[in-house]
Chain A
């Protein structure tokens, strides 16, 4: 009887523990660091803490194509193709390549330009528009910006 109670406790404990690990990893996936040291080498500014969840919720009415695009095969212009959403670093390189902006400029062109557009159009929710608003140094986690 004692053994059975111990086994039950172990099973319940491992389920709770497993759930805790799963939710934690899910939370980590929802918010992560954009650094790309493999592309940029040593970073000149602090990595950007990015929440995909916050962006997809805030921009739900605008659609995924606000950020995600691929080069159109005939014109080469960026177009949104559902199901082909990928990170900027998949196409954009460290240097500009045949009118395709470099990775740094691609990020700034998407992030900063969009945040400033949201501010100008008086949307209630918008992201940071200053350098330090996104590139927060670790010693200064909360520069409003």
Chain B
């Protein structure tokens, strides 16, 4: 079978199905396994939970973000780019129309290029942090470096394929394969914070805001 057809067709379906079902499973797991503490006057302020989520979303709204401005800027823009780029890139929109006849607004190519460069530079920055900053190094596992490498590979190969630099077809196939690998591991790895960051922030807000009266953010 033609390798491009294989990664563009059946493997893309496998990756998408694992991503969607895996994500639903993880979210359902968190919702149904979460229990209220069986103590008198247990913590659980929905208002504080919502406030914590909101503060986590707004740039520089938390003390931690204000203490590390460089990390905040690099990380915030990185997160915006990794979500916006795959959804609004022209090449992807053309493929979605070809497969499902759905279409929406596409990013201009120049800004998309800059955003891709930002993502790649941010991956190198995150890699160096895990390597050089003691408190980050301490909580880093080989798998974390692996995740960073897959993200870097996905965006690097996409960048090279767009510019048609290097051997086009193998680079494009590698781009699709690494993107599919990301979709597959997302619900089952640390990348899953895309799905459940709200749960952890809500927990912290509810827990610390109620009794300690602490604004954890």
Task: Name A residues whose Cβ lies closer than 8 Å to a Cβ of B.
Answer: 44, 104-105, 108-109, 112-113, 116, 119-120, 129-133, 136-137, 139-140, 143-145
Residues of A within 8 A of B98 (CB): 108-109, 112-113
CA of A109 to CA of B99 in the docked complex: distance in angstroms? 10
How many residue pairs at the A-B interface have CB separations less than 8 Å? 50
Q: A108-B94, A108-B97, A113-B98 are in contact. Are A120 and B168 (CB under 8 A)?
A: no
CA of A145 to CA of B168 in the docked complex: distance in angstroms? 8
CA of A129 to CA of B176 in the docked complex: distance in angstroms? 14
Residues of B within 8 A of A136 (CB): 164
CB distance from A72 to the nearest CB of B (A): 21
Contact A137 B5 (CB under 8 A): no
Instruction: Tell me the nearest residue of chain A to B173, going by C-beta.
Output: A130
CB distance from A135 to the nearest CB of B (A): 9
CB distance from B188 to the nearest CB of A (A): 30
Contact of B169 among A109, A119, A120, A143 (CB under 8 A): A143
B182 within 8 A of A: no
Contact B164 A132 (CB under 8 A): yes
Contact of A44 among B2, B5, B90, B163 (CB under 8 A): B90
Q: A44-B109, A131-B94, A143-B169 are in contact. Are A119 and B5 (CB under 8 A)?
A: yes
Residues of B within 8 A of A113 (CB): 98
